[in-house]
Chain A
Amino acid sequence: MDPLGTRSRPLRERLPLPLFAALAAVLPLLLSNEYYITVLIFMGINVLLVVGLNLLMGYTGQISLGHAAFFACGAYGSGILNVRLGWSPWVCMPVSLLFTGVLAYLIGKPILKLKGNYLAMATLGFGLIVEHMAVEWGDLTGGPSGLSGVERLTVGDWRFYTPGIRYAYLVWAGVFLCIVLAQNLVGSRIGRALRAIHGSEVAAGTLGVDTARLKLQVFVLSAVLASLGGALYVHYLGFIAPASCGFVYSIHLVTMVVVGGMATIWGSVVGACILTLLPQVLTFLEDYDILVYGVILILMMLFMPEGVVRGVLAAFRHAGAKVSGLGGAGPRAADGG
């Protein structure tokens, strides 16, 4: 067994994971400000969702415009169990994950038969239904102003949430596991089958891939990852509102996948981090931030339509080829999984 893939892969693919682990271990120590730590935590949560969504969108080719709904299920599920029934967060979280998984299975079964834009529409519809329910079902969810007073994570007297650095380590440890899981999945027989579905569902089917089943499994996996993000979110902030898990967030997640690059796990990590950080960096512009954000998004897609990671790698390769005078490196995209 070689779960971290340390032996079988070339150096280029082996290097990012330890680098990432080192960065995730050191970075929280360098951030003195509690606010930066909070941003780091949100970054980690977004990475969880975006990696899951990329498995579904980038690798399997099944679009979801309602992924925030699963985030909402995780956050509201765990929050409601905790606030209304008084269960411990440690019980609420797995229960809400299980609930989301079952829900994703039940929803995915009929709608994953749809393709392309119709699947986009069905997932969008599902996402909007969840958003509206969160707003309208006030007795349960707290209505438009949100659910507050959710208990935060503790072990005995030891608090996970203050100082925030503890929670940052918890979230990023989850992110690390999620990346290892995703990489192994993508590199495995299942990963090849997923890419085959992306290439041609009919062809994959004739080659003996149970396409319906695999699509459903990936859908459930990415939904559970999203709900994990939601549960981690609600037990850190102690609060969840419909506005933070609605249509806008779903679109934001898809944007992160595409900006990072379809079908690259590290691309998702980078895309999620850039687009979480960008609005924070732009806050000094006050009301103009949304303008600049739009422009940066357009420019990134104009100059790196295959995603930031591939774009930067291609630029490096291009520069390297120029220096060594070969010039024949070509624009082949890196397939760093």
Chain B
Amino acid sequence: MEHLKPLLDYVIPGISLGTIYALIALGFTIIYRVTEVINFAQGEFVMVGAMCMSTCTRTLGLPIPVGFALSVLLVTLLGALMEWLTIRPIRRASVVSMIIVTIGCSIFIRGAAMFLWGKDALPWLEIGSQQPILFPGDIRVSPQTLWILGITVSVVLFAHLFFEHTFAGKAMTACASNRKAAHLMGIPVERMVLYSFALSGALGAVSGIVISLTYFPVYDMGVSLGLKGFCAAILGGLGHNLGAVIGGVTLGLLESLGVGFLSRVVQMSSGYKDVIALLVLVMVLIIRPSGILGPRSNDKV
């Protein structure tokens, strides 16, 4: 136990960071499954969620559950609006054109956020006490970490239940596996695309809210978070909900353990942690070209 303790100091934050990445990755996966579009505005959904939550609870003084519901609702609408205004009109264009449209949307949303909230960071979210909780074996865990784990795990479970046990969820899975067949079976594919953007918005909002427990929300936070979520989604094999979760947690662990390795073993700047994570990621891709959960064959595009 003595030897394991330093390791745990990195594993626990790594997992909590990883579950946040997992939520963002899930947002990417849901849209990708139905449309094959990589939504570059996913990070912006996260940012808007965090900003709204901070405004609702810290500036307006609303109770946390109300703020939570309002923020999620708002970003869900934002996702739906984005699909309706920009993706639907070009649904016959190539996927790459749609991806560029999502880049345009992300630039626009970031600009609008800068205009609405300014360039300075907003206050973060405070829930309960800040004192670390002592677990047996002298392991300290901050309450934020527990909140993050609790919320992200329940959202992932909720998403799982949605996809496995509701009609809309099953219909979306059908669209993912074969769009044309789904259409022929009478599933309204266009509505499913709308739902996928709305649901991704909701998941993005939750990840943003959870992130604002440990980071200050700021208008340009979406770029790096979206990037991490995208990495996690591919690491797990794009198009698998479970894969997104595994990919996210793997990436979080890699980063956190990378910091530990750099600071304790080789005495280098922790700035290299991303380099380590990315190197492992590229290696994984070269060894397993379709991600951790992807099909074994190389030919899957």
A interface with B by C-beta (< 8 Å)? 110-111, 113-118, 120-122, 124-126, 128-129, 132-133, 135-136, 247-248, 251, 254-255, 258-259, 262, 287-291, 293-295, 297-298, 301-302, 305-306
Q: Can you add 12 more A-B contacts, CB < 8 Å, to A120-B38, A121-B285, A294-B105?
A: A129-B275, A136-B272, A255-B100, A258-B100, A287-B114, A289-B111, A290-B108, A294-B106, A298-B101, A301-B100, A302-B89, A302-B90
Contact A298 B108, CB 8 Å, known A118-B289, A132-B271: yes
Please name the residue on chain A nearest to B96 by beta carbon.
Answer: A258
Q: Check B275–A297 contact: CB distance below 8 A.
A: no
A-binding segment of B2-10, B163-171, B276-284: B276-284
B interface with A by C-beta (< 8 Å)? 38, 40, 86, 89-90, 93-94, 96-101, 103-112, 114-115, 223, 227, 230-231, 234-235, 238, 269, 271-272, 274-275, 278-279, 281-282, 285-286, 289-291, 298-301
Please name the residue on chain B nearest to A128 by beta carbon.
Answer: B278
- The residue that A251 contacts in the complex, of B103, B105, B300, with Cβ under 8 A, is B103
Contact A298 B238, CB 8 Å, known A128-B278, A291-B115: no
A287, B111: Cα distance in complex, Å: 8
- The residue that A258 contacts in the complex, of B97, B238, B281, B301, with Cβ under 8 A, is B97
In the complex, 24 of the A-B residue pairs with CB atoms within 8 angstroms, ordered by the A residue number, are A110-B286, A113-B298, A114-B286, A115-B298, A117-B234, A120-B38, A121-B230, A121-B285, A125-B231, A125-B285, A136-B275, A258-B99, A262-B94, A289-B111, A290-B108, A291-B108, A291-B112, A294-B104, A297-B103, A298-B104, A298-B105, A301-B93, A301-B97, A305-B93
A116, B112: Cα distance in complex, Å: 32
Q: Check B289–A288 contact: CB distance below 8 A.
A: no
Q: Check A115–B301 contact: CB distance below 8 A.
A: yes
Q: Check B101–A290 contact: CB distance below 8 A.
A: no
Please name the residue on chain A nearest to B273 by beta carbon.
Answer: A132
Q: Check A302–B286 contact: CB distance below 8 A.
A: no
Q: Check B282–A118 contact: CB distance below 8 A.
A: no
Find chain A residues with CB under 8 A from B278 CB. 125, 128-129, 132
A116, B286: Cα distance in complex, Å: 14
Find chain A residues with CB under 8 A from B291 CB. 118
A266, B147: Cα distance in complex, Å: 54
Q: Check B101–A302 contact: CB distance below 8 A.
A: yes
Contact A305 B286, CB 8 Å, known A255-B103, A290-B114, A297-B107: no
Shortest beta-carbon distance from A173 to chain B in Å: 31
A116, B294: Cα distance in complex, Å: 13
